[in-house]
Structure 1
Amino acid sequence: MNLLSFVVLLCIFGWGMGAGLEQVDDSDLVHLLTGDDNVIVLFTQTRCEDCNKWELLVENIYNELTQSLGAIVVKAHNSQLVGIYDPSKEPSLVFFRRGIPLLYHGDLVEDDVVRLFSDNREPVVKELADENFEHLTQAATGATTGDWFVFFYSADCIFCQRLYAVWETVGAVLRHRLNVARVNRLEAGISTAKRFGITTSPEFIFLRQGKLYRYKLKEYTPKSFIEFAQSGFAKQSHPEPVPAEISYMSDMLSNPLELLTENKNAVIIVSASVGLLVLIVLIKKCFTTKPKSPSPKSKKAK
């Protein structure tokens, strides 16, 4: 075998060894996602024809993804982590921007994948709190900031965590049409949640021109959310008026009453304490006798 033939075979062998996406296990994936790199992960599973099609697509745009986005591109096969980022499971393509996930939503089109990821290298969803909600949304006035689609979540809601990547997708697709945000209803957004009557997690509201539309569907996919924000909200013929912002004083005065009405144990304790106090007062009153005034002495007969 001459030198030229050896070089050709070496190139072919090297290409064959490098062909296909690098596969990582869950421990390696967690290590990648907690680092500072941008990471694109294709989640696949066994006996999945669509997974094979998606893998071929990602391989075709591998160079674009790694060079233009500076991303690490890997495959996670039969991963236990996929449900955290995509409730619909495999195949699933997720772009992690320093840990913040963006789920690809769309057809098997190479240009669409590259465009979505390239246009959204930074997180899109805005985090709102009590202190800035009205200022940014101008919800009560329906003024100049446009429409808002808001996701109310809480840290104790596992399903909410699984919707973060989905919600980023909603924000990415709709970013030039409206604003997409989220609010922690039990922490930084307690007063805002109370203002809009939000009592569970997750809940979603759409704010448009001083009107409030509630997302009541039980379908939590990018497609369903996007369709609602684009036209589905209009099917609600009687939207609610946006409630006025809760003042600081009314919020302070309502908290003790709400604490009692929402906590049955607190009601029992307070009632028992009041009853005991009344009983003590009555007992004390019964056993306390007033000192008798001395009777006037009879005058001695002269």
Structure 2
Amino acid sequence: MTAVKHVLLYLLFSVLSLGLSGDLKTVALHDILNIDLSEYTEGSNAALLFIIPDNCHDCHMHKKLLNEISSDVLYSGDIFHLNDMTVPWINMLSAPVILFLNNERKIPYLGPLHRTHLINAMHQFTTGVQSARLDDANFEHDTQASTGSTTGNWLVIFDEITPDTLQIYDGLSLTLRAKHVNIGVLDPKQSTRTAKRFNISIPSDSAQNNPLISAILLKQSTMYQYSENLHRMDYEQVTQFALTGYPNHIKGSIPRPRMMFDEMVDALVGFTVDLQNEFGKPLVILLGVIALFTVMIFVGLILVVGFWFAGSFENDDAKEHVSLIKSPHQTGDDKRSESIKKTKNE
């Protein structure tokens, strides 16, 4: 009798699991391209797309995760399996890959291949989490870097900002935001002032889809800079750096925001370097001597004019002081003159 109860409970649990778990559909490429995503709106359950080719030899972790999430009673969203090497909507990734889909966005999942992490990232996706688009104008306001990062920890990626790169960094943000790390992307070629502030210079790279990038972590009023070569598609290294690996990299204080004086000095230095490259060092030295001599003459003229005005004011004050104060001898003579006039009149 007990065995029969166990069998009935198992069958009941299986039925409930099938009813509550996600709806797995195996589709072809043309089916997924023509799928109607209008029902997957922002804030509701998104669709999951697993792109796993059957002939893939390194996809066992993706296949395991697909089986786990499709039988998970806590997840009831739609799940699609695409047996193809082509990754639709994402130009920079190749299979195997997992995508979150809704009516507005198609974002890759770039976190650990674990059910819990995937569900957490799905929650971040449905709430509209994405990477911050940073520039010279909003960097300090959004990150609060110089005031102690009051908006939380920030991972700042210095890379070109395009729709393709933002898909990658939006995918990273789903995993990092679940760990309370904000991620922002700043184009160092466009926002040169902030790039100079953090001494970021990205060398030219022939790899168009996977060039070298730079990354810093702003954490508790301290800056950690990734100290090794880092490419755009090294998202596992980026995630590890932001969460646990930052102590193994360059540590320093957060530089202050650049002022207008800093820009003027840089412009002057750049102008001098350009002159030297164009006309040679002797001409630059000659122009420097002329500029120094001109400045000295100008300062000397200012000092002469200042001393002249100061002397004029002192002479005027002395004359006014003498005219107001009479000496004692003058006062006695005036009194004797008045006495003689009175005697004659009598």
Same fold (TM over 0.5): yes
Structure-2 change in CA distance of 1:113 and 1:157 (3 Å): closer
| Long gaps (5+) in structure 1 | 1-17, 67-71, 276-302
Q: In the alignment, is the contact (CA less than 8 A) between 2:111 and 2:172 conserved in 1?
A: no
**CA offset at residue 253 of structure 1?**
4.8
Alignment of 1:143-222 (within 5 A): 143-155=149-161, 160=165, 163-174=168-179, 177-187=180-190, 189-200=191-202, 201-218=212-229, 221-222=234-235
Q: Identify the structure with bigger relative contact order (alpha carbons < 8 Å, sequence gap 6+).
A: 1
Query: What is the CA–CA distance in structure 1 between the aligned matches of 2:157 and 2:25, rounded to whole Å?
Result: 38
**CA offset at residue 150 of structure 1?**
0.6
Question: Which residue pairs with 2:49 in the alignment?
Answer: 41
Query: What is the CA–CA distance in structure 1 between the aligned matches of 2:187 and 2:84, rounded to whole Å?
Result: 33
Q: Could you report, residue by residue, the CA deviation over 1:250-286 in whole angstroms, capped at 9, with x for unpaired residues?
A: 325524643775xx7x865x539x98xxxxxxxxxxx
TM-score (norm 2): 0.55
| Long gaps (5+) in structure 2 | 1-22, 203-211, 284-346
Question: Which residue pairs with 2:5 in the alignment?
Answer: none
Question: Which residue pairs with 1:103 in the alignment?
Answer: 109
Larger helix proportion, structure 1 or 2? 2
Question: Which residue pairs with 1:116 in the alignment?
Answer: 121
Query: What is the CA–CA distance in structure 2 between the aligned matches of 1:247 and 1:239, rounded to whole Å?
Result: 24
Query: What is the CA–CA distance in structure 1 between the aligned matches of 2:199 and 2:36, rounded to whole Å?
Result: 40
Q: In the alignment, is the contact (CA less than 8 A) between 1:43 and 1:76 conserved in 2?
A: yes
Structure-2 change in CA distance of 1:19 and 1:92 (3 Å): closer
- 1:243 matched to 2:249? The reply is no
Between the aligned residues of both structures, percent identity stands at 18
Question: Which is higher, the Rg of structure 1 or of structure 2?
Answer: 2
Question: Which residue pairs with 2:25 in the alignment?
Answer: 20
1:182 maps to amino acid? V
Q: Could you report, residue by residue, the CA deviation over 1:43-101 in whole angstroms, capped at 9, with x for unpaired residues?
A: 222412525445444544698223xxxxx846261105587454xx4321121452351
Q: Could you report, residue by residue, the CA deviation over 1:5-30 in whole angstroms, capped at 9, with x for unpaired residues?
A: xxxxxxxxxxxxx9732222499379
**CA offset at residue 115 of structure 1?**
3.5
Q: In the alignment, is the contact (CA less than 8 A) between 2:99 and 2:109 conserved in 1?
A: yes
1:118 maps to amino acid? H
